[in-house]
A and B are shown apart, each in its own frame.
Chain A
């Protein structure tokens, strides 16, 4: 496979303060297309804070975020998604009273083209667009092995399936960059293995960049092309998995002296 190395996400000198507390400081990193990038670090290192800044849930105090050449400074969370960033959450946030299929179709929302009036009058365009959305949503569910559960209510899915559905919903927004916040949390080794294959499939299928936070080192070292390690909000190390594994600073941060 020929890898195209165009940068999708560029983070320069990123930092955020909460009152007097500096949660993240001086973070620099670049994520390329077709790349699976790992963001790791001990608890409280500021990993999820970085995700929240990328999705504009938090407004960074310093630094710039550039997505595919576009400056993200003035965007709100909705615009950040439209610009091409989609995410999953550490504590799953599904639309739990709605069906699995509808969860994905909500993700597709901005690519469904009809007005509210068209929907109320049920014009032919409504049917055509809904049919298209159904087909695309089912394709996504197929990839994540959820097609047979399309009519189930999302809240009734088993835990691992809920995590997969969240990824499917994020992908439905046609992102350029997918952020996964601890996708393997609470999964058993076999489920984790399946998840790793799925993440690779997603990259090969959609040709997007994937940035993931994970504590499962087997997963991180297994699928990530490059890794950034955070500690106390500061960049500790950056490089390919083998470099990270042998980096004494990283070992110190994780295991202690």
Chain B
């Protein structure tokens, strides 16, 4: 009896979305892990798993911003760069002091998230004074600035500590010192400590944060500001504070995602996190459905894997990719399909009520 209650609770009302998202992620993890251990997954796919996890986390963060807060943010990749390169520095610094890889990964991801949050907070001050298209343009610019700064950054570590510079030959390292980030060459000599399991755990944590936030006082306020700014003010919601919260959480998740991504490769260049990547994440979010976390997870997985699957088509693969995007857009915006889904939902509800 109690178990049944728990089950119906998990699928009722506010808990439903969270439960479904969790199930999708956990089932996918179980299947993929079995396939890896039985050797049924090609090397190509295994190498895609961690990047997919990273993009899912970044997309969940962006969905918080675009779907719930209603602000178009085109700088998500910039926050990924901040988080990723912070994580590269931190993990490089701690390589000798903390030999435990899992602990080092956790610390690196946390630091990446926190650093992105700080940048998110600073950027939100000028950005959130704007609305609509203007806000989108400014976030785009900030994303590019963040990426450019990282591209020109040189960081080295030796026994005396960290050395920063924006000009390469300024850094003279002591004995046993290593360069962690060397400007346009990007982060080099990263120890690859990201794992698929860590990626899945990070996805679950970000889902938990986003779902729990949405069904709270602050989450309702975030959606209220999206639906009607003036009405939100007259019921006592501090609009700029609320929007800042959504923006910072989105940036934090992007930072953590960047950390997971960077620590999966031995070297990463900052230009990986350019405008195209921001747009890519936005595409995942829009096709997955604004405010729909499960949809975001599925669309990110499929759309990230698609170009790799189509690799045998060589130059034609981006053409096919573009066509797939257009078709999905058309289908998901089809009025007839929408009304049909709506009818099915109502019917299902009625059936359920009838059986009760």
CB-defined contacts of B209 to chain A, threshold 8 Å? 120
Q: Cβ of B230 and Cβ of A110 under 8 Å apart?
A: no
Chain A nearest CB from B241 CB (Å) reads 9
With both beta carbons as reference points, the residue of chain B lying nearest to A55 in the complex is identified as B234
- A220 on interface, CB distance cutoff 8 Å: no
Stretch at the interface among B41-49, B128-136, B216-224, B259-267: B216-224
Q: Cβ of A116 and Cβ of B228 under 8 Å apart?
A: no
Q: Cβ of A97 and Cβ of B218 under 8 Å apart?
A: no
- B330 on interface, CB distance cutoff 8 Å: no
Q: Cβ of A87 and Cβ of B234 under 8 Å apart?
A: yes
- B227 on interface, CB distance cutoff 8 Å: yes
Contact with B along A104-127 (1 / 0, CB 8 A): 011101101010100111100010
- B213 on interface, CB distance cutoff 8 Å: yes
Q: Cβ of A106 and Cβ of B237 under 8 Å apart?
A: yes
Q: Cβ of A78 and Cβ of B223 under 8 Å apart?
A: no
CB-defined contacts of B232 to chain A, threshold 8 Å? 95, 106
- B212 on interface, CB distance cutoff 8 Å: yes
Q: Cβ of A170 and Cβ of B228 under 8 Å apart?
A: no
Chain B nearest CB from A132 CB (Å) reads 12
Q: Cβ of B231 and Cβ of A98 under 8 Å apart?
A: no
Q: Cβ of B235 and Cβ of A120 under 8 Å apart?
A: no
Give which listed residue, A82, A93, A151, contacts B236 with CB less than 8 A: A82
CB-defined contacts of A35 to chain B, threshold 8 Å? none
Q: Cβ of A77 and Cβ of B233 under 8 Å apart?
A: yes
CB-defined contacts of A24 to chain B, threshold 8 Å? none
Give which listed residue, A89, A110, A116, A121, contacts B231 with CB less than 8 A: A89
Report the interface size class on chain B: 20 to 34
Question: With A and B bound together, what is the CA distance between A106 and B234 in angstroms?
Answer: 11
- A235 on interface, CB distance cutoff 8 Å: no
Chain A nearest CB from B333 CB (Å) reads 17
Among B234-250, those with CB < 8 Å from A are: 234-239, 245
Report the interface size class on chain A: 35 or more
Give which listed residue, A116, A130, A169, contacts B235 with CB less than 8 A: A169
- A86 on interface, CB distance cutoff 8 Å: yes
Q: Cβ of A77 and Cβ of B218 under 8 Å apart?
A: no
Q: Cβ of B238 and Cβ of A106 under 8 Å apart?
A: no
Contact with A along B309-321 (1 / 0, CB 8 A): 0000000000000
Chain A nearest CB from B14 CB (Å) reads 10
Chain A nearest CB from B141 CB (Å) reads 29
Q: Cβ of A114 and Cβ of B217 under 8 Å apart?
A: yes
Say yes or no: A97-B216 contact (C-beta < 8 A), given A78-B237, A82-B236.
no
Among B180-230, those with CB < 8 Å from A are: 208-209, 212-213, 216-221, 223-224, 226-228, 230
Q: Cβ of A105 and Cβ of B220 under 8 Å apart?
A: yes
- A182 on interface, CB distance cutoff 8 Å: no
Q: Cβ of A93 and Cβ of B230 under 8 Å apart?
A: yes
With both beta carbons as reference points, the residue of chain A lying nearest to B231 in the complex is identified as A93
CB-defined contacts of A86 to chain B, threshold 8 Å? 234-235
Chain B nearest CB from A127 CB (Å) reads 11
Say yes or no: A95-B223 contact (C-beta < 8 A), given A112-B217, A119-B213, A120-B212.
yes
- A214 on interface, CB distance cutoff 8 Å: no
With both beta carbons as reference points, the residue of chain B lying nearest to A121 in the complex is identified as B212
Say yes or no: A98-B223 contact (C-beta < 8 A), given A109-B217, A112-B217, A119-B216.
yes
Contact with A along B285-314 (1 / 0, CB 8 A): 000000000000000000000000000000
Q: Cβ of B236 and Cβ of A109 under 8 Å apart?
A: yes
With both beta carbons as reference points, the residue of chain A lying nearest to B235 in the complex is identified as A107
Chain A nearest CB from B253 CB (Å) reads 12
Give which listed residue, B213, B235, B237, contacts A170 with CB less than 8 A: B235
Give which listed residue, B220, B234, B236, B245, contacts A102 with CB less than 8 A: B220
Q: Cβ of A106 and Cβ of B216 under 8 Å apart?
A: no
Q: Cβ of A116 and Cβ of B234 under 8 Å apart?
A: no
Question: With A and B bound together, what is the CA distance between A77 and B235 in angstroms?
Answer: 9
With both beta carbons as reference points, the residue of chain A lying nearest to B230 in the complex is identified as A93
Q: Cβ of A96 and Cβ of B227 under 8 Å apart?
A: yes
Chain A nearest CB from B121 CB (Å) reads 14
With both beta carbons as reference points, the residue of chain A lying nearest to B13 in the complex is identified as A151
CB-defined contacts of B230 to chain A, threshold 8 Å? 57, 89, 93
Question: With A and B bound together, what is the CA distance between A121 and B231 in angstroms?
Answer: 29
Question: With A and B bound together, what is the CA distance between A234 and B66 in angstroms?
Answer: 46
- A231 on interface, CB distance cutoff 8 Å: no
- A94 on interface, CB distance cutoff 8 Å: yes
Question: With A and B bound together, what is the CA distance between A119 and B208 in angstroms?
Answer: 11
Which of A98, A116, A151 has its CB near the most chain B CB atoms (within 10 A)?
A116
A residues with CB within 8 A of B: 55, 57, 76-78, 81-82, 86-87, 89, 93-98, 102, 105-107, 109-110, 112, 114, 116, 119-122, 126, 130, 151, 169-170, 172-173
List, sorted by A's number, 26 A–B pairs whose CB atoms are closer than 8 Å: A55-B234, A57-B230, A57-B233, A57-B234, A76-B233, A77-B233, A78-B237, A81-B233, A81-B236, A87-B234, A93-B228, A94-B228, A94-B231, A95-B227, A95-B232, A96-B227, A98-B224, A105-B217, A105-B220, A109-B220, A110-B236, A116-B245, A119-B212, A120-B209, A121-B212, A173-B236
A-B interface, 9 closest residue pairs, ranked by CB to CB distance from nearest: A119-B216, A93-B231, A81-B236, A95-B227, A77-B233, A112-B217, A106-B224, A120-B212, A93-B228
Other A-B pairs beyond A98-B227, A119-B217, 8, CB < 8 Å: A77-B234, A86-B235, A95-B224, A95-B227, A98-B220, A106-B221, A110-B236, A173-B235
